[in-house]
Amino acid sequence: MNVLIFDSNEKLNEAGANIITGLVQTNPRAVLGLATGGTPVGVYEQIVKDYKRGLVSFRGVTSFNLDEYVGLPVDHPESYRSYMNHHLFRHIDIPAEQTHIPNGNAEDPEAECRRYDELIAEAGQIDLQLLGLGHNGHIGFNEPAHALIRGTHVVDLAEETRRANARFFNSIDEVPKQAMTMGVGTILKAKTILLIVRGADKAEIVHRALTGPITTDCPASLLQTHPHLVVLLDREAGRLMA
């Protein structure tokens, strides 16, 4: 585990972007696992800047997003397809057909989960998986539970998760109650995992996830078992790790 703590968001964003663009520069056909939410926005902005400066091309890259809300129209501004288009995809040269996000509106959700896992398997091992961290220790939308599901699956979102995401909607009533998420087993198969966490409100869960017991009650604690985990924290999120 390599934990780095930054005094500014600018430096953190640059570090995160450098890890991703550096991988793509050395492996133009890299398979990226991507995340959404507030945490990676600055990293994506820096990646776009690097692309526009001609430092990197994503033409050969394949991407798989961690998750998508169930029942939210794909063109809804808070769908994760809309998010990725807005913050990254439309600003770089990655072909649309090489970007993959679970279909949260599939008629047969279980079949869609199987399809998504098959696509990931066909692409080969994910070279780098980008993650954020939920207040309750979730990664992707893998919520705390007695047991965690290995592959892509539909999950009932914890109320704490829905409250945290309500800031992106007009009210919590608009936040979907389910999501389709990549499983912890798939996440842990990635060659490298890049975990980015910001904010004082995440300090305790960061410490618990990275130094506490490994338990499905804190899904992120399973990251301790990964052979190549890189953690980027701002000063506030890392205050208990120093």
Active site residue 122: no
Does residue 204 sit within a domain?
yes
Evaluate if residue 241 carries a pLDDT over 90.
Answer: yes
Q: Choosing from 13, 50, 65, 67, which is the catalytic residue?
A: 67
Active site residue 136: yes
Number of domains observed in the structure of the chain? 1
Q: What is the CATH number of the domain that holds 124?
A: 3.40.50.1360
Per-residue pLDDT band for 58 (boundaries 50, 70, 90) equals: very high
Q: Is 134 helix (H, G, I), strand (E, B) or coil?
A: coil
Does residue 138 sit within a domain?
yes
Q: Which whole number is the average pLDDT over 41-47?
A: 98
Does residue 240 sit within a domain?
no
Q: Choosing from 18, 85, 105, 136, which is the catalytic residue?
A: 136
Give the distance from CA 114 to its chain's centroid: 20
Evaluate if residue 242 carries a pLDDT over 80.
Answer: no
Instruction: Give the structural domain span for 96.
Output: 2-234
The answer to whether residues 231 and 1 touch, using CB atoms and an 8 Å cutoff, is yes
Write down the pTM of the prediction.
0.94
Active site residue 207: no
Active site residue 159: no
Model pLDDT for residues 66-120, shown as the tens digit of each residue: 999 999 999 999 999 999 999 999 999 999 999 999 999 999 999 999 999 999 9
CA distances from residue 195 to 9, 47, 74, 178 in whole angstroms, order as listed: 15, 16, 26, 23
Does residue 241 sit within a domain?
no
Model pLDDT for residues 142-161, shown as the tens digit of each residue: 999 888 889 999 998 888 88
Q: Choosing from 87, 100, 138, 226, which is the catalytic residue?
A: 138
Q: Choosing from 50, 117, 127, 143, which is the catalytic residue?
A: 143
Predicted confidence at residue 157, as pLDDT, reads 87
The answer to whether residues 168 and 198 touch, using CB atoms and an 8 Å cutoff, is no
Model pLDDT for residues 200-216, shown as the tens digit of each residue: 999 999 999 999 999 99
